[in-house]
Structure 1
Amino acid sequence: MRRVLGLATGLVLASTALVPAASAAPVPAAAGAGRAGAACRTDAGKCGRDPLIAIAVKVRATPAARPGGKVTYVIDYSQTWTPSFAPYWGALWVGGRFPKGARGPVRAALHDTSGRRLAVLPCRRYADGVWCDAHGPMPHQGRIVMSARLPATAKGTVTARLGFDSFESLNEAEYARHHGRKKLREKFCEFRFTKTAATRVRTE
């Protein structure tokens, strides 16, 4: 069942809330993450604005792998937000597009900045990629680790484009409904923060 994230300025509203860093100062939404306004896809929402929460991501992958081999992806992220977004209710998903023909992942691991594992996130394939439900406590900064297996026919350099989807702006009632990804895309503003990582396919 989908659980979404609720925040208020500097205060935790629910156990699934993002935890802001006490010393973090708001920075422009584009810093390190790119402008995300064009990523809004819903017909119902009016998203002619920057996201209320922006997510800077850095993505790296196993540098080289054989055809059919496993590639591990690491997403380091940091969230920034506007100073006056309360009350805020939103939903986060992590993942994206993996190399063509790749299998997985079925789960991703969430770590804090010290490397301690906080949660395992379930993942599913959707029309726009493989996305993992980022439920539970979500730190302001952290790391997501996930793996995919390349197809046996892979060759050359294969790329993945990974990061976060953030859905805004739910209200408390919508938050309580625990919408799935399909419903979130239909009803709310979607902002996407992704970067590309490449892996060379070894044939020797």
Structure 2
Amino acid sequence: MRRVLGLATGLALTSTALVPAAPAAAAPPGAAYSAAACRTAAVECERDPLIAVAVKVRATPAARPGGKVTYVVDYSQTWTPSFAPYWGAFWVGGRFPAGARGPARAVLYDTAGKRLAVLPCHRYADGTWCDAHGRMPHQGRIAMAARLPSDAKGKATARLGFNSFETLNEAEYARHHGRKKLREKFCEFRFTRTAVTRVSTG
């Protein structure tokens, strides 16, 4: 069956076909997902994700108060065999440093560094997330930036990665639900890592 994973673009879109990934029975080393994944606000999903996303997050190592910090998320996706009949929707982002102005967009690159798409980002109660609905490669890199507050000091910590929703059928996927509806209707998983920037005032 066709396996389609989300990635809609704000300004550009790639039509690169997905390359099948080797199935895996469990998340790859380094992947992290939420133990409190929910189908609705009241019902826990109570299973491991059907799509695991291993992520590595890097940030500008040092910045001044009010300065820009660039974040790079490298990712690799793996499916369990039971995922085949379904589709998934993805959002990229998370929690940026306290008081920081999060990104309005993120840029998707393939593993060769080719720019594939620009993703629109929006602020939510649980962080800033960029819509990744459409086609995306199994492996790639996403870059985004945030601006620190003028009174930043010490360490600026962000926790970033993927927010995925399973299991949509083809009809549900075509509706391109927003995050609010996805969180109400489908299993939600988080794959995130922490990145720290030292705030230099000297």
Structure 1 length normalisation: TM-score? 0.87
Match of 2:177 among 156, 179, 198: 179
Q: Deviations over 1:73-115 (max 9, x none)?
A: 0000000110232211211000000001101200000000000
Aligned to 2:12: none
Q: Which runs of 5+ in 2 are unaligned?
A: 8-15
Aligned to 1:136, what secondary structure does the other structure show? coil
For 2:133 and 2:199, how far apart are their aligned partners in 1?
34
Aligned to 1:3: none
Aligned to 1:143: 141
Aligned to 2:82, what secondary structure does the other structure show? coil
Structure 2 length normalisation: TM-score? 0.88
Aligned to 1:112: 110
Aligned to 1:58: 56
Aligned to 1:4: none
Which amino acid in the other structure matches residue 95 of structure 2?
A: R
Q: Deviations over 1:128-159 (max 9, x none)?
A: 00000012321000000000000001000010
* Alpha-carbon contact 2:57-2:72 (below 8 Å) kept: yes
Q: Which runs of 5+ in 1 are unaligned?
A: 1-7
Q: Deviations over 1:18-51 (max 9, x none)?
A: 82445x3525225221343433362366511100
Distance 1:29 1:14, change over 3 A: closer
Aligned to 1:129: 127
For 1:93 and 1:60, how far apart are their aligned partners in 2?
18
Q: Which runs of structure 2 are paired with 1:1-204 in the superposition (5 Å)? A: 8=1, 11-12=2-3, 19-21=18-20, 24-26=22-24, 28-29=26-27, 31-40=29-38, 42-43=40-41, 47-204=45-202
* Alpha-carbon contact 1:110-1:118 (below 8 Å) kept: yes
* C-alpha RMSD of matched pairs (Å): 2.2
For 2:24 and 2:109, how far apart are their aligned partners in 1?
23
Aligned to 2:26, what secondary structure does the other structure show? coil
For 2:25 and 2:5, how far apart are their aligned partners in 1?
25
Percent identical residues: 74
Count of paired positions:
194
* Alpha-carbon contact 1:77-1:143 (below 8 Å) kept: yes
Higher alpha-carbon deviation: 36-45 or 176-185: 36-45
Aligned to 2:13: none
Distance 1:162 1:171, change over 3 A: same
* Alpha-carbon contact 2:5-2:136 (below 8 Å) kept: no
